[in-house]
Chains A and B, each alone.
Chain A
Amino acid sequence: MKNELIDFTLYLADNALIIGHRNSEWCGHGPVLEQDIAITNISLDLIGQARNFYQYAAQLINEENTEAKATEDTLAYLRDGWDFKNSLLTEHPNGDWAQTITRQFFFSVYQYYLYQQLQNCSNEQIAAIAIKALKEVTYHVKWSSEWMIRLGDGTEESNSRLKKAIDNLWMFTGELFDLSAYESVIYSAWNIDNDKIKNEWESKVKGILEEATLEIPVNATWHQSGGKTGTHSEHLGFLLAEMQSLQRAYPGNEW
């Protein structure tokens, strides 16, 4: 159970860090100043969540192995791609604004329903982080939903870009509900209902897409997976090479 708890905590942390990092790539390049600030703010929230989860994971790891000396930074900067457990959706490149919004919307809705259950779980640390994060995630869902509707029901161009984004990203949404071995152990220990999360996610996504005058892709039943167990897309390696560059180039330095 201890190992599964560590893996699950890292999964939550990696998801938040990687999508937060992706969003931070927008900083200074957004389509309009107010939205530059909004996406950067979301990035900051997610990196904050990641830090909370990493700090807890480091504590668990150090309890297991007194020589480990894990910290939030060793976990973020000194693990390799195969150690990262984030879902494939979160590492997908930003693309245009429609792709970024769609990625955030799919992910935030998932995070929202997952944290809803985690806030009542028997692990006090995780529950506390979930409660704190839910305030932020509620806003992320609202912000990204509004953008989905705006783009879908905006101009012809925005509608077709959004449609394309949904088609591109849909294949990465199934993984969110595909339980890894560590999730299965944790979910049954904490009475987390995966079917409920999945149903709530589907109904929320369907509702917002309808408002955006769009539909869930039909015939798209296949989905990609692997991120949760460390088999990533080609994109993650570049992201990590950039993110970890100073820590890797100058090992042992404090920043």
Chain B
Amino acid sequence: MNPEEIFQDKIDQEIKIEPKDWMPEKYRQTLIRQISQHAHSEIVGMLPEGNWITRAPSLRRKAILIAKVQDEAGHGLYLYSAAETLGISRDEMIEQLHSGKAKYSSIFNYPTITWADMGAIGWLVDGAAIMNQVPLCRNSYGPYARAMVRVCKEESFHQRQGFELLLHLSRGSEIQKRMCQDAINRWWWPSVMMFGPNDDASPHTAQSMKWKIKRFTNDELRQKFVDICAEQVKLLGMTLPDPDLKWNEEKQHYDFGKINWEEFWNVVSGNGPCNKQRLDARKKAWEEGAWVREAAAAYAEKRKSRQNIQAA
């Protein structure tokens, strides 16, 4: 068998590919793109939620929110490390994010306008993310699969917290109910879009499924998400903003309305409400932190040379 056949054989047998194993260049590049995009999403995703840390309405909620955003930073860290095993440095990946070469999840280009958005992000955005991510725990690349196991455990906790936040609002005052419905209205369709283009418009899916980087198609996962949310929203006594949402007895799934792909591609290509603000905020943090990173490196260098002198 040639290297490519050995590689595919391992994948077919569900043996994980590890950093030192031979792999097709395209497999490596696909993974770098996907893992770094995921890492960037975690880091950019800290911003819309971080926006409410200083205004969280109780100390308990404040602590939960801080811990959640901190978990996202941690996910970014594991994922950057997983991507580094493929031969790219964290600095290079960050550079690609800042230059616009690398993407991050478009969902974070929407603004967080009220406190209820913290709940809607947890329930819908983290909910959609989990749907995508649980199968990734079994993907063929070892370091990525192992990072995803940790990520998924924390994400499902976040999702429950988000739902609990909304449940609380849904049982509260009129204004709280209004906040709750308003947030669901704004986050529903962007969350449905998080699964990406329809299968017939998703060119990488077939190859990624063969390599077991992907286990289900975009539309399969999206349907699963809609089916679950359509039931959960009833517990909140709220509605999803889709007049075409209806149980289909024959298919045993919910039918749902047409997705506005024009909006999706607009946000992907940079025209979302917060694309510019999110990237600017990341670049600003990075640029303003440059002297700190330089100081840490200079100090580490001095220390090392002092230790060498002592040892000599």
A253-B175 in contact (CB<8A): yes
- Residues of B within 8 A of A (CB-CB), count: 44
The B59-80 residues at the A interface (CB cut-off 8 A) are 59-63, 66-67, 69-70, 73-74, 76-77, 80
Distance between Cα atoms of A25 and B289 in the complex (Å): 15
The A26-45 residues at the B interface (CB cut-off 8 A) are 27-37, 40-41, 43-44
A43-B289 in contact (CB<8A): no
B295-A150 in contact (CB<8A): yes
Q: A150-B299, A255-B168 are in contact. Are A37 and B289 (CB under 8 A)?
A: no
Q: A28-B50, A154-B299, A246-B115 are in contact. Are A253 and B66 (CB under 8 A)?
A: no
Contact with B along A234-255 (1 / 0, CB 8 A): 0000000011011100101111
- B interface, by DSSP: helix, strand, loop or mixed? helix
Distance between Cα atoms of A24 and B293 in the complex (Å): 20
The A65-90 residues at the B interface (CB cut-off 8 A) are 72-73, 76-77
The B101-133 residues at the A interface (CB cut-off 8 A) are 115
A153 at the interface (CB under 8 A from B): yes
Select from chain B the residue with minimum beta-carbon distance to A248.
Answer: B57
Contact for A149 among B54, B73, B176, B299, CB less than 8 A: B299
B299-A48 in contact (CB<8A): no
List residues of chain B with CB within 8 A of the CB of A155: 291, 294-295, 298
A27-B77 in contact (CB<8A): no
A195 at the interface (CB under 8 A from B): no
A27-B63 in contact (CB<8A): no
B292 at the interface (CB under 8 A from A): yes
B38 to chain A, nearest CB (A): 14
Contact with A along B170-181 (1 / 0, CB 8 A): 001101100000
B53 at the interface (CB under 8 A from A): yes
- A interface, by DSSP: helix, strand, loop or mixed? helix
A37-B74 in contact (CB<8A): yes
A212 to chain B, nearest CB (A): 10
B97 at the interface (CB under 8 A from A): no
Chain A: interface residue count, which band? 35 or more
Contact for B73 among A37, A247, A252, CB less than 8 A: A37
A180 to chain B, nearest CB (A): 24
B193 at the interface (CB under 8 A from A): no
- Interface residues, chain A, CB within 8 Å of chain B? 17, 21, 24-25, 27-37, 40-41, 43-44, 47-48, 50-51, 54, 72-73, 76-77, 96-97, 149-151, 153-155, 157-158, 161, 242-243, 245-247, 250, 252-255
Select from chain B the residue with minimum beta-carbon distance to A43.
Answer: B66
Select from chain B the residue with minimum beta-carbon distance to A39.
Answer: B70
List residues of chain B with CB within 8 A of the CB of A47: 59, 62-63, 66
List residues of chain B with CB within 8 A of the CB of A157: 291, 294-295
Q: A28-B46, A29-B285, A245-B55 are in contact. Are A97 and B292 (CB under 8 A)?
A: yes
B267 at the interface (CB under 8 A from A): no
B73-A31 in contact (CB<8A): no
Instruction: For the complex of A and B, list the 10 residue pairs with the smallest distance between their C-beta atoms, beginning with the closest.
Output: A31-B289, A154-B295, A158-B295, A28-B50, A28-B46, A31-B292, A246-B57, A255-B57, A150-B299, A154-B299
A32-B59 in contact (CB<8A): no
B295-A255 in contact (CB<8A): no
B302 at the interface (CB under 8 A from A): yes
B58 to chain A, nearest CB (A): 5
B50-A27 in contact (CB<8A): yes
List residues of chain A with CB within 8 A of the CB of B295: 150-151, 154-155, 157-158
The B285-312 residues at the A interface (CB cut-off 8 A) are 285, 288-296, 298-299, 302
List residues of chain B with CB within 8 A of the CB of A247: 57-58
List residues of chain A with CB within 8 A of the CB of B281: 28-29
List residues of chain B with CB within 8 A of the CB of A36: 73
Distance between Cα atoms of A92 and B302 in the complex (Å): 32
Select from chain B the residue with minimum beta-carbon distance to A73.
Answer: B58
A27-B69 in contact (CB<8A): yes
A76-B59 in contact (CB<8A): yes
B151 at the interface (CB under 8 A from A): no
List residues of chain A with CB within 8 A of the CB of B62: 24, 47
20 residue pairs bridging A and B, Cβ less than 8 Å apart: A25-B53, A31-B290, A32-B296, A37-B74, A40-B70, A41-B70, A44-B63, A47-B59, A51-B63, A54-B59, A97-B289, A149-B299, A154-B294, A155-B298, A157-B291, A158-B294, A245-B55, A246-B115, A255-B58, A255-B61
B44 to chain A, nearest CB (A): 9
A27-B53 in contact (CB<8A): yes
A243-B55 in contact (CB<8A): yes
A250-B175 in contact (CB<8A): yes
The B25-72 residues at the A interface (CB cut-off 8 A) are 43, 46-47, 50, 53-55, 57-63, 66-67, 69-70
